[in-house]
Structure 1
């Protein structure tokens, strides 16, 4: 699952590929409001931690995998 996180006052968004489902990511974002930090782990085991008060948006979607060549 590809997750894009927009951070206030940052020129680039964070892009994370995680093994969590979309519902699990949504639950992690909702739970983070109480804890103050959003923590997600990517497929390589790296952890990304963002303060909740700095979140601009969280976009949850599936990556397009295996597209090679021309599409019609």
Structure 2
């Protein structure tokens, strides 16, 4: 699943793919009021620590990846 996170006062967004389900990611951000950081990992094993107070928006879903090559 593709995740896009908008950061306050930043013109760019954080975009990555994760194995987590949309409900899991949503629950992490809903619990963010209790914690200062939200921890997510992508399909390549990289981890992202995001300050919960600087999140402007979270977009969940989208294509799992771009198709490369020809379709017959």
TM-score (norm 2): 0.84
Any gaps of 5 or more consecutive residues in structure 2?
none
Cα distance in structure 2, aligned partners of 1:18 and 1:57: 17
Q: CA RMSD in A?
A: 1.8
Q: Would you say the 8 A contact 2:17–2:64 is kept in 1? A: no
How far apart are 1:52 and its partner, in Å?
A: 0.7
Cα distance in structure 1, aligned partners of 2:17 and 2:37: 19
2:52 equivalent to 1:48:
no
User: How many residues get paired?
Assistant: 70
Cα distance in structure 2, aligned partners of 1:57 and 1:20: 18
TM-score (norm 1): 0.84
Runs of 4+ in 1 over 3 A off after TM superposition: none
Cα distance in structure 1, aligned partners of 2:64 and 2:21: 15
